[in-house]
Structures are given as structure tokens and as C-alpha cells.
Structure 1
Amino acid sequence: MDKWLDNPWFLRGVALVLAFMLFASVPNTNLNKSGNINVPSNENTEVLTDVPVNSYYDTENLVVTGVPETVNVTISGPRNIVQQAKALRDFEVYVDLTKLEMGEHQIQINIKEISDRLTVTIDPSNITVSIQERITKDYNVEPEFSLGMLAEGFIAGSPTVEPAKVKVTGAKDIIEQISYVKANVNVEEGTRETVRRDASVLVLDKDMNKLNVLVEPETVEVSIPVNQSSKTVPVDIVPKGKPPEGVTIESITSDVEEATIVADPEVLKDVKKVRVEIDVSNITENTEVTMPIIISNGVLEVSPQTAKLSIKIKKQDEVTLSNVPLRITGQPEDHEVALVEPKTGEVSLTASGQTDLIESLKPEDFELVIDVSGLEEGEHSVDIQVSAPNDINWSLASEKANVTITKKEA
């Protein structure tokens, strides 16, 4: 055995066998289509996207614009180092502005804490930045919402904002562009109740473009009171028709004197009253009825919707008095007046009124007079003048009397 080990050809044979066995144990994944062996390269390239960029400057007193939030970094080099950098991302991409004055500058984006065995390309690599004085100012927040989203007949009161002011921080030239600080509130269609919403604060220039500033706080609470557009108006009672014969409407009263109506403001300003209509053509007794309150076009609601009416009547009666005496006045001393018609000196009169008054009437309650003052001799037709009790209606069978005036004999 020792002789074999001392034999160089034996050792060479063993080495050849081991080499063949080792070769046979390697998988053939590196064989190409032609059966040749591909030797893997040790170099690699990777593109790392959305790599954050850090900025170094006086953040308390300055504002910097123009620095991108992220960049793409391409790294090339040994495969193991590239893969390690890709996995760990333990490098930093940054811009150092600490030594720059205020104004506009062309600068390069840098990278540090990365292996010097890697080749690095940053996209973009050169940028334009603006360094300006940092300013903070207080602004009132103006709430904004669409009135058209409110339900018909509802109006919005004065909205409130909490807090009413916010602090806006930004570059001096940006702050000088501020024209509006608004909180836009989303109001749902058909809203009938007070709206309370958290709303983001928007800082805008005169052209309503959003400005790049910091706002503290970023949201505010907006409260918008929503109420019905309403007012109180009197209730007018309107009788319709004619009472039955013999019936007089003494009074119509309502348990509702005023009503509240709801309408859009433009309609509301023109409405002065609402009404209740009652047909009196069939009223024969004192009665109570409930009737709807009638509203004009454009009025959406009325409250209450009905009114109770109390109707009091006076029944009418009629009587004919056939013996009412007729008296002559204004008779000249030297003349005689003789009644031609009516010969009896009495007139027939028909009186009407409330039954209790009619029942107690007597002829002497009426005074019938003809005045012959100034009349010359001859025959004359003279108007009969009537004095009657209050609340009594009357009519004469004849409204004139015929008289003859003659001169007395000496």
C-alpha cells in the first residue's frame, strides 16, 4: 500500500477520478443549448426606485422648494455588494443646503454611506432649488358650501368655524400670494338639519390655485345652522255663497288667528296672509266646522293645517202691519190738505228682522210722514218717509201718498 502511495502515477489517477466525480456532481443548469458551460459573471446592475431624499437646511427659518421627495438610484458592481445594498438600503441620498444663501441655486443630489466599490447614478442628479425666508401668519377660515343642496323651503344661517383662525407657514413669496383660506364642506342633497363637518383647509391664490404651504391645524370643524324659511301670517276668513232666506250670518270666528307658512325666501316675502273659506249657503243653525287653511302657490307648508270656525246666525222673520198711521207735516195754515190715497190715512208695511224683534212689533213702532211744505194748491204725489226701529228692515205697499191742497174759505 505504501508503495502505491509513493507511486506518482497512482496519485495522478486518483486525482483524475476525483475530478471526474466532482464534475459529474455539478448540476447542468449552466449548460446552454449547445451543451457549453456558461461561467456566471460577478458583476450586476440594479435600479432602486423611490429612494427618499433628505434635505439639510435651517428648517426653523427657511423654506426650500424644488427638492424631489424621491429619486431613482442605479447601482453597478460586484453582485454580492449590489444585492446587499438593494436589500438593506443603508445608504442616504441627500442635499446639503446649509451653506447656501437665500435665492435660487443649481445643486447636485449626493449619496453617502454606500460602498465605494459600486458605481452610482442618481436620476435626477442635478436640480434647481429655491431657498426663501420662512413666514408664519394667521388667517381667518372662510367656510364654503352649496346652498342648492338644502331641502326646498330651508335656509342656512351664519356658519361657524372652530378654530376660526389657522396658522399658515410657507415661503415669503408664496405667503404673499394668498387670497383665500377656505374650508369646503360637503352638504348632502335635501339637508334639513344643522350640518357639522370636519373640513380640510385650502389655501388658494387669486386664481383659486392651491398653494404649497403648511397649515396648522389642517382641518377645522364647520357648523352650518339649517332652518326652515318661515314666517307667521294672519288667517283671513272668507265667506262664500249667500245665506238661506231668513238667515243672517251674525259672526264667524276662528280658533286660529295666525299660521306659520314655509316657503323659499323669494316666495315668502310676497305672502301676506292665508285664508279659510266657508260656504254659508247651507248654514241654518249656529254651528262649528273644521276647514283647511288654504295657501297660495309656492308655499310649501302651513301650520296648523286646519282651523275650527264658529258660526253664529240670526234667523229672520217677517210681519205685515196693515194699519200704520200716516201723518202730514208742513201744512200751510190757510190751506187744507186732504188725503186722496190712502183714503183711510193708514199704510200697509212689511217688516223683517230677527224673530224675537218681529214678534213684538206694533204699528206705533213706525212713524210714517208726508211733508207738504211748499206745495201749491192742487193734487200732489208725495214720498212717504219712514222711521223704523233699529235692526228692522221694512217695505211699504206704496211709497207715495196722493194729496189735494185747497185754500180755506174765508
Structure 2
Amino acid sequence: MDKWLEKDLVLRMISLLLAVLLWITVTEHSFSSFSTKGSTIIHDVSVQVKYDKEQFELLSQPSKVELKLYGDKQALNNVPGTYRVFVDAQEVGAGEHRLPVQVEGLPFGVKGEVEPKRVKVELAQKVQKEMPVQVDIIGNVPEGLHIDKPVVTPSKVLVRGTEPNLDQVKTVKAVVYLSDHTKSMETVVRLQAYSEKGPIHKVKITPDVASVKVPISIPHKKVPISIEVKQLPAKGYAVERIHARQDQVTVYGPKEYIENIQYYIGPQLDLKDARKDMTISVPVPLHNGALRVEPKEIEIYVKIVSAEQKRLDNVPLTVTGRKEKQKVDILSPSGGNMNITLSGAPRNLLGINQSDIKVLIDVSGLSEGVHEVPIRFILPNFIQVVGQTNPKAKIGIR
């Protein structure tokens, strides 16, 4: 053993080991002399609760606690705000529990203690029931239109919550707002649960939205369409007939308007340049009172032929607009009759006589004395009077 210790290498290794141990001892003492400890207290810290929110509802928030932090002073000055104070209620059932308060998210070198160490947590079991969806319509449609029964999809939903809250739910509503709509509408609305006192927000509705179709019916009637000729063809030509491929239209409008309509005044045709047969598509005008007309356009065939003339003699003038006890003498044309020449398609002129013609003079609003008044003709379709430019009659009123 003595010989082993006499070896120079062994003595050197022992010396080095003793030096290292001495350095560690001095260094540790030096570091500990510079290390400082500290603590701080945070009051009124909120406690979060971890629990199964699908199955339970937290009836009340746990009381706040006091958090004491201690450890390295420098670390205490840099505690992030992301730490959490919580209780874990994921493994407990419904009812009242006293659970330990835990702290997580503190930096290295800092520890925390809470007071009180346990807090009360009360959970209530959630239940669910199936309920129908009720549609509430807010707003109006124009007068004469009617809102039919809305269609909602889905028609039933699941309402989930604690039993006391669920007992308060009386209806689940989809509220639809109308603003003078004239056509059926479809919209997606968020559902809301209601008690007898108003909305309830502490329940969950699945699904929480619904699609609602609101049918808006408009009174309508199918009636004949009247096609008028605004301007007949030029001299030498005549309209023999006009045929609309669809001679009836469906008119939509307020109830009173639809009840009284017997026919619908259609487009007015300007045929002043017509020289031959033609087929045209023209829009159907929308008159006051009508909300919609179908079809919106009709196809019309017009047959154009060479015109002929026919003379009618001694056609009597008829006086309109005469007051009671008022006497009207027709001074001219002589005898209160006039000769007129008609122009039209040969087929249409055939068989026309005086009974088919009305020659009118209107004396409405005229006082006693002699007056000149316009002569107006009421003629069969597509027939016109020729050789008369602004015809007038001379009358005496007494």
C-alpha cells in the first residue's frame, strides 16, 4: 500500500480530486450567498372549472381564492398572466362537491399555494326533449295578398339543458320578418327558445337554425286578353283579322281587383307600316291594379289584305250627354243624318249595315246656344271611316 502511494502519478490524481472538491464547495457557497428568495400574494383570483359541458351545467361559479406565489425573486417579477387556477370536475357527477384548487402554468422556480385549498362546485345533469318549431311572421304583405301556412325544416329539434331550465321552455320559434313581399320567400333563421316570460338563453337547441318557406299567394284569374289596334294600316291596306296564339292571360292582383276584372287590356299595335301578313311577339303591359300578368309576352299573327270601301247613307247621329229638359237641334248635317264611307278588309265589310255603326256627338257641359261639336264614330274591329277629316256637327241647345 505504501509503495502504491509513493507513486508520483497517484499523488497527483489525489491532489487534483481534492482541488475540485474544494472548488465546488466554495462555488456553491458563493452562489447561495447571491440567491434571493421572495413571495407575493394575489387576492380575488377566479377559479376555472373543468367539466363535461355536454353532460352537465355549472350552477354557480366557485368562490374566489387567494394565491400566494413564492420562489426566486427575479422569477416572481416575470410571472406571465397565462397561469391558471382551476378545479378538475371531469371525474365527478351531478351534485355538490368540494374539490382541490390547482395551479398550472407557473414559470420554473416559482411555486404557488391557494387559500382556501378546496372550493365548492355544484353541477346539474343536463336532459333533453324534442320540441316542434313554431314560425312567427312579423310584418305584412300588400293589401289583397295572403300568407299561407309556412313550411319549416326541420319541423322538430332537440332542446338540452338542466331540468329546471328545460321545464321553463314552452316554445321554440323561428321568427321571419316580412317587408311588403309580393312573392313567396325562403330564408334561414336562428332558432330561439321561449318561456312564458320571454327568451331563454340557458338551453342548447340542436340544430340551432332552420329553413323557413313562407308561401305568399296572390289572388288571380284567367281572363280573355283584348288586343287593340292603335294605328291601322295606310290607305289601300286593311286588317282582316288578328289572332293571338294565347288568347287568355292569368292576372294576379288584390282580391277586389281580381273579382271585378272580366277581360284584360293587352298591347296596342301600331300597324301603320304594315303591308303584308306578320307574326310579332309583344310584351303584355302591366296596368294599375295588376301585380303580375302571365305570360309576360304573347305572339300575335296579323293578316293584312288589300282594302275595299263601302258606303252607308243616312246614318243617324246620336246625341249623348244631354241634360234633363234640355233640347238639342242638329243644324248640320241636314236632318241629323250623314253619309259615311267605310274602308276595311272585304270579308269584314260584308254584311255591315247602319245598325253596326254608331255616330255620336257629345253635348256634355254645353250651355244654350249654337255650337260645333266633334263627331265620333264607333265602328266594328279593323274598320275605319275614310273621306272625313275632323268631322263636326252644328247644333243648337235650348
TM-score, normalization by structure 2: 0.46
TM-score, normalization by structure 1: 0.45
Q: Work out which of the two has the higher radius of gyration on C-alpha atoms and give 1 or 2.
A: 1
